[in-house]
Structures are given as C-alpha cells and as structure tokens.
A and B are shown apart, each in its own frame.
Chain A
C-alpha cells in the first residue's frame, strides 16, 4: 500500500501533500490530549502492523489496521497514521519522504472517514459493534486501494490497467482486516470499553 518514490508526477505529489497536511492539522486540532497515550499506542500498532505479512498468490500483502485507528480515534487517526508512516519510511524504507503526502491521504483519509461514519455504531449492541468493526476494516482498505489507483491514474493514465489489479489483490486484505478489526473491537468492548469511549 506504500507507493514508492519516483512514480508519481509532481502535481499529484503536491496535491497529496496539501491534503495530508490539512488532514493532519484538523486531526491535531480535534485531538483530545487526554487520550494522547492511546493515540501513541495505536500509532505504534499501525507502525508494526505493516510488518505482518499475508502471503497470497504471487504478491504479498500486509495489514494496515487503518480502520481500527479510525474507529477508536476519529480524526486523531490522521496524525497517528502520518507519524507512523514517516517512521516506517525512516526505519523500513517503505514508501519515501517525497510521497509521504500521497501515502498519508491514501491510508489515513479512508481510515478517518470510516471512523467518523461508523463510530456511533460502537455504542449500540454487540452485533452492531461487530458489523461496524468489520465494515471499518473492509471499507478502509477498499477506499485506500481505490484512492491509490486514482493517484496512480492521475499521475499516468497508463496505470489504468493496474487499477483493477490493485483492487483485486487487496480483496483478501479487506476481508482479513475486516475480521481482525471486528475481533479487536469486540475484545476491547468487553475488556476495556473506555478506550472506545462507550459505556458498557
């Protein structure tokens, strides 16, 4: 899910950077600073989740857990993801500093969107909560793959052939992320509901 350096055109890179800076600013503004440790721990979770590799077909896909961050943190997921992405670039050479803007909006955008839409469901009964968890995991990856394809296409229309492949190859990740997010949310609701800001 990390786009490498040297693939995207300059206007696309700038556009992505502007969107990510805006998102991060809003995220920091809306951040509840009493929950700063939760944000940091979830950011760390995102940081390592990319190393968990699911071998599928000829390619390889890895977890992102953006949906989980969105559900728990809302707008706060944006800075959490962007900081973790920057550290992944520094430590793992995933993506690159120049494409950080695009990678930020591709991964954090859908995470926040899913979080904002599905967060109210968490306070309802168990079934609603599980559904919200699965949907957040699934949709955040789906939308991220869609955004990534769109950015590649905007950069070079020749990438249109790859767009379908990107969506297809991420289908298993969508399902896996959906299930994992669902279980984590369910588990947290049982054990530590205050993290989800819900009363049990």
Chain B
C-alpha cells in the first residue's frame, strides 16, 4: 500500500518540524502594567500582531496596540479601567485570519490585597509603600516563569497521540462507511 508509505513518511517528518498555525496568547500583570506575549505554536514570536483590549462585560474597546518583534506588547493599566474593575479580554490578531484570546480578571490587577497586607505591618522600618513594591517585585519575578509554563501547558502543540488519534478516526470512519454500505448490498 503505497499510500500507507506516504502517510508513514509524513509521520516520520512531523516530529522534526511539527508546528501548527495557531496563535497562542499569554498575558500577565506586574504592578501597574500588563504584558502580553504572543506567538505561533512552537515558539515563533508573532511579529507586529495587533492587540486589542476589551471590557469582558460589555465588549467596550479599551485599548489598542501593536506587538513588537518579539511578540510582546506592554501597557500600563489606565486608571479608568481600574475604577471599573473590569475583566479584560485581550485579543491578538496576526492578520490572515488567525487570532487568539487571553482573559485577565479584575482581581489580578486590583491591588487591594497587597495594600491591606502592607498596612498590617506598621512599626517596621520600611514604609508600607516600599514593602508593597518589594512584594510586588518579588512575586512578579518568582511567578513569571510559573505563569509562563502554565500558559505553555495550556497550549500544547499537537503530539503523537493527537495525530494517531486523528488517523485512527479517519480509518475507523472509512470502516464504518464500508460496513454500512455492505450491510444492504445493492442489487447487482
């Protein structure tokens, strides 16, 4: 079966160059800024992707921007957005009909928790403001790789199981059709 050989050759090829055509978006908050990272599956950055930020509740457009060469776009959270306590939906479009989304919940950028934490530490030699800044900095630094790997895990590229599963479905469907056709053989 020649076609089997063709399929098999493709299977041999794909681990070397298996990249889909799917954009992944990952955004995180650090202090007052939000960083949006986007790329194609397989660590190819999305150059000059157009980023839009909308209010999840009413779909109002809050912000628009363009990613840089590394696929990164950073913006500081405007005060009016903070007041609204809106959940943000960040969409990155790569032109040619590819786009993807990431949601940032209001909780993620509301600083109230850290504020209250800071205010309990009266009497220490560092000011509340200083403490807050230090905590933020450390947390951002420590959590960034974790958030990143979470995003990666959520966005796994097709693996061997997916591919074999798909091929299995196709062969199974063919078998099903063949069986259905042969159950009631057409009159000769």
Contacts and interface: CB of A to CB of B under 8 A. Distances in A.
A1 B20 CA distance: 11
B96 A169 contact: yes
A43 to B, nearest CB: 5
Interface of A: 1-4, 6-7, 33, 36-45, 47-53, 55, 58-62, 83-84, 87-88, 90-94, 148, 152, 162, 165-166, 169, 184, 187-188, 191-192, 195
B166 A45 contact: no
Q: Contact size class for B? A: 35 or more
Interface of B: 1-4, 6-7, 10-11, 13-14, 17-23, 40, 42, 44, 47, 91, 93, 95-101, 157-158, 162-163, 165-167, 169-171, 173-174, 177-178, 181
Contacts of B101: 6
A22 to B, nearest CB: 20
B2 A33 contact: no
A53 B19 contact: yes
Q: Which secondary structure dominates chain A's binding surface? A: helix
Contacts of A48: 7, 10-11, 14, 163, 166-167
B2 A87 contact: no
A195 B181 CA distance: 21
A37 B174 contact: yes
A49 B170 CA distance: 14
Contacts of A162: 95-96
B20 to A, nearest CB: 5
Contacts of B157: 92
